[in-house]
Structure 1
Amino acid sequence: MKTYTFNADEKLINEITSYFHKEDFCEVGDYMLYKISRKNLSIIIYTSNKVVIQGKDADIYFEMFKPIDNIILPQAGSDEVGTGDFFGPICVCAAFIDEQTFDKIYDLNLTDSKQLNDEYILKVAPTLIKKVKHSLLILDNEKYNQVIKENNMNVIKAKLHNQAYINLQKKIKKLPELIIIDDFCGEDKYYQYLKGEKSIKNITFETKAESKYLSVAIASMISRYAFLTKMSELSSKYRMTFPKGASNLVDEFTKTFVEKYGTDELKKVAKINFKNAKRI
């Protein structure tokens, strides 16, 4: 069983306890302040402010809550949003943080955008955009529907991530030694997809990287913010509230949209290779 132990100040303890739900807390024993339990995870915070994290998922939560001194800086990370949504663009961001940047954003609650609600992301992301050096790429639906004819989704993602890092490198002159991608295809496949193109090397590929590395979490939030903004713009333009995802609800909305605007207009707002398009 994996075990991590460290001392936490009051602020970090509040950060840990505020992350979990009421049902995650258990009855405490002697010398305990809090006891938190989830599948594959146990966290005990003692009256001495010592924190013990155990379980199969201990490494994930340690990366989220570890003391500042354990965060490797500088680092750059990237993540994408919109690849599972029928409507809206694909947004990819690569973000860079060093000690100076970290000091500017320390007071923000930054974790994976998938763990934060959209309301909070819309509130915090503009600050991140101003204070964090980053590169944001937005592939709109019309362009996506062209490139998907000759590339699968993972190829498109690999090329977007790579270009985001190339753009970021131009902004900061030199990328840090620690570069992370939220893994979606594996290192070998990733570089196969980039064969013949200028590519950024020495990348760390990790699943759930947005929960382990602050730079990836920031990239995830900026990407999500860009996606939400574009979805809002579509809703305003067509006077219809576009649903996220690719569920049956999306199918029903698509039928209404096509009845009102036609299939040619659908190509401007949706990913036509999705099964949703075939069900209308």
Structure 2
Amino acid sequence: MSSPLESATADWASALAVRGFLVSIVRVLSNGLQAEVSDTGRTCRVNLYHSRGRGFSVVYAGGDRGLFGDLTPHSGSGLPAGGSDEAGKGDYFGPLVVAAVSLDPDSSARLAAAGLADSKTLDDRKISSLEEAILSETSCFAVSVKQPSEYNALMESMSGGRNSLDILAGMHADAISRMLGACGATKPSVIVVDRFCAPSRIEHLLPAGFRYDFRVRGESEPAVAAASVLARASYMRSIRELAGEIGIGLKPGAGADIDGIGAAAVRKWGPGILDRTAKKHFANTGRILRSAGC
């Protein structure tokens, strides 16, 4: 009997074969498969995953990005597809940002050819150029930002088992709602939400009347990848602005080097600087205050 991954892969490969693509499995991964896909003169590799409750996902793994864009199902209807993603969730300094974007298939293909991918795999220069490309392709987007001071106030108000994921869920819902408002009459036929929590935590917050796909590794959908780029670009601008305000270089992350930066900021400005610049519920805060002698 075939596994769910094998069955889903077979269906996916068959659908591509009908469209003239050649698919071959080239490698077994620890939790998936790697396939090579080719057509006339173009080749790319993709990683294939399947898990219970998460479904089948296809992730770019190298080769011709334009070809990968052609493989992506988008909404499956020739209509636009929407997506949302966040930045700053795992970073001590700077805001939490969520973006939502809707792209039609032609825009998705052009952006894929330009190198669109999950922002975590891109450097700052590429993120900046892709942000410009995305904004030239669509006006159907929205960005939701919670600066550290607002974020910390919300965290302090949390009770009854609610936590940072509830803030994030509300921000996804806000960005998606405003993105839909920017779309006018041409709404996306599906909205892919990068799955950061159980769908039950966010479903009741989302605009009604739309089809949602809560997907792990959602960046395989171009609209989600585009949202990840817009969110990261906004996050990086904010962290540069905060650094300029306090005169200390800030950067993403939550490791030991971040503790050193935080301790320097506290020594210069006092503990209150963390309210303005950092997500204080992170474990970094205790280490920083101890290091700074507070």
Q: Does the CA-based 8 Å contact 1:135-1:167 persist in structure 2?
A: yes
Letter of the 1:42 partner, please give it.
Q
Shift of residue 166 of structure 1?
Answer: 1.4
Equivalence map 1:99-118=2 (5 Å): 99=105, 101-102=107-108, 105=111, 107-118=113-124
Partner of 1:267: helix, strand, or coil? helix
The secondary structure found in structure 2 opposite 1:61 is strand
Query: Any gaps of 5 or more consecutive residues in structure 2?
Result: 1-5, 50-55, 290-294
2:216 maps to which of 200, 207, 213: 207
Matched, 1:259 2:267: yes
Give the unaligned 5+ runs of structure 1.
Answer: 14-33
Give the whole-Å Cα distance in 2 for the aligned partners of 1:54 and 1:140: 36
Runs of 4+ in 1 over 3 A off after TM superposition: 34-38, 40-59, 61-64, 68-71, 99-107, 197-202
Conserved in 2, the CA contact under 8 Å of 1:82 and 1:88? yes
How many pairs are equivalent? 255
Instruction: Choose which of 179, 183, 194 in structure 1 pairs with 2:195.
Output: 183
**Partner of 2:148 in structure 1?**
141
CA contact (8 A) 1:166 1:200 kept: no
Q: Is 2:97 aligned against 1:91?
A: yes
Q: Deviations over 1:60-93 (max 9, x none)?
A: 2379826268433311100010011110001110
- Structure 2 residue 179 is the aligned partner of structure 1 residue 168: yes
Change (3 A) 1:206 1:256: same
Contact in 1 for aligned 2:190/2:213 (Cα 8 Å): yes
- State the 1:45 CA deviation: 5.7
CA change 1:178–1:107 in 2 (3 A) is same
Residue correspondence of structure 1 range 149-168 to structure 2 within 5 A: 149-151=156-158, 152-168=163-179
Does the C-alpha gap of structure 1 residues 128 and 49 become closer, same or farther in structure 2, counting only changes over 3 Å?
closer
Partners of 1:55 and 1:82 in 2: CA distance: 26
TM-score (norm 2): 0.74
Cross-structure match for 1:81:
87
Q: Distance in 1 between matches of 2:148 and 2:172?
A: 18
The one-letter amino acid paired with 2:175 is: A
Any conservation in 2 of the 1:41–1:53 contact (CA below 8 Å)? Answer: no
Equivalent of 1:271 in 269, 279, 291: 279
Q: Distance in 2 between matches of 1:240 and 1:52?
A: 43
Deviation at 1:113, TM superposition (A): 0.9
Q: Could you tell me the percent identity over the aligned residues?
A: 23
Structure 1 residue 109: Cα displacement = 1.0
User: Deviations along 1:113-138, whole A, 9 cap, x unmatched?
Assistant: 11222221022212313432200111
Asked if residue 234 in structure 1 is aligned to residue 234 in structure 2, the reply is: no
Which letter does structure 1 place at the counterpart of 2:170?
Answer: K
**Is the contact made by 1:243 and 1:249 (CA closer than 8 Å) also made in structure 2?**
no
Partner residue in 1 for 2:129: 123
What SS is found at the alignment partner of 1:60?
Answer: strand
d(CA) in 1 for partners of 2:221, 2:166: 24
CA contact (8 A) 1:91 1:226 kept: yes
Matches within 5 A, 1:3-18: 3=10, 4=13, 6=16
Aligned position for 1:19: none
Q: Is the 8 A contact 2:70 2:109 kept in 1?
A: no
Instruction: Say which SS state the counterpart of residue 147 (structure 1) adopts.
Output: helix
Q: Does 1:71 align with 2:74?
A: yes
Provide the alpha-carbon RMSD of the alignment: 3.5
User: What does the per-residue CA deviation read over 1:203-252, in whole Å, with 9 as the maximum and x for residues that have no partner?
Assistant: 21111101x21100000000000011111112222222113111111111
- Aligned-pair CA distance for 1:200: 7.0
1:29 — aligned with what? none
CA shift, 1:59, in A, is: 4.1
